[in-house]
Amino acid sequence: MASMKDVATSGGLKVGTFVCEFATPGIGYILKNAGLDFVFLDMEHSGFDVSTMKSALRYFEAADLPCLVRPPGKDYYDMARMLDIGAQGLCLPMVSSADEARSIVRQCKYVPDGERGVALGIMHDRFRPGAVNEKLAAANRDTAIFPLIETAAGIEEVAEIAAVEGVDGLWIGHFDLSCSLGVPGEFDHPKFKDAIARTHAAAKSAGIPVGRIAADATEGAALHRDGVDLVAISGDVWMLQTALRNAATMLRQSV
């Protein structure tokens, strides 16, 4: 199975979706056979607990569909638990400085690259035996770290955040960013557009990808033209709701 880092850094458009509600046994195969490249699996706004996440990650592994996991926060405990249950990529909310990004990398990497607490022979290494140094090196190599750029302070330091060793990509949290900039939901506002341009420039300079959620395929195509590499098309709740609303409306209009 390709790791989330492999997918994120392989170049070209990568298409995914946001999952915050339907952590069901078939979800991995459903999304894989829809042609997706990755999934953004969310804890911050979903209410998923650790047990649910542990099962959901197995569903996506079975379908060979890499996941970028957003923990409920960026405390060490939140990050380490997700990594220990098998998350290969983390997207951390509200990262606002390079120092904060460096701290996140340090806490998510094993020695000699960081200070993550060591537990081997558990889910993250598939309960396999093996040489300690090889396991630590493999985890350090394969763990992807994506700071969420979604604050005005984060924009001020976005170039420095992108340049931190161990940061593998940036994810734009467009709604929170617009709110932090004082223009809630105004994605055509000059302040917001300037912030996006600065984020893309920072990622390009650092040679790392950018991810963002798109409302639909049309918006996703526009975002990709502007430099977004990982496009998550909408999310499980909204896509189902939209499809049913459109079908119900069409049915009512036709009878």
pTM (two decimals): 0.95
Kindly list the distances between the CA atom of residue 173 and the CA atoms of 4, 27, 246, in Å, as whole numbers in the listed order: 19, 24, 27
Which CATH fold would you assign to the domain 4-254? TIM Barrel (3.20.20)
- DSSP states of 113-125: T--PPP--SSGGG
pLDDT of 1 higher than 80: no
C-alpha–C-alpha distance, residues 157 and 202, integer Å: 9
45 is catalytic: yes
Beta strands in the chain (DSSP E): 14-19, 38-42, 67-70, 89-92, 144-149, 170-172, 210-214, 230-235
pLDDT of 72: 94
Per the rule left: phi > 0, alpha: psi between -120 and 50, beta: everything else, 24 is beta
pLDDT of 11: 86
Band the pLDDT of 12: cuts 50, 70, 90: very high
The model's pLDDT over 45-103, given as tens digits with 9 standing for 90+, comes to 998 999 999 999 999 999 999 999 999 999 999 999 999 999 999 999 999 999 999 99
Kindly list the distances between the CA atom of residue 139 and the CA atoms of 7, 84, 85, 102, 144, in Å, as whole numbers in the listed order: 16, 10, 13, 17, 10
Token pair, residue 142, equals 């394969």
* Catalytic, out of 45, 189, 200, 224: 45
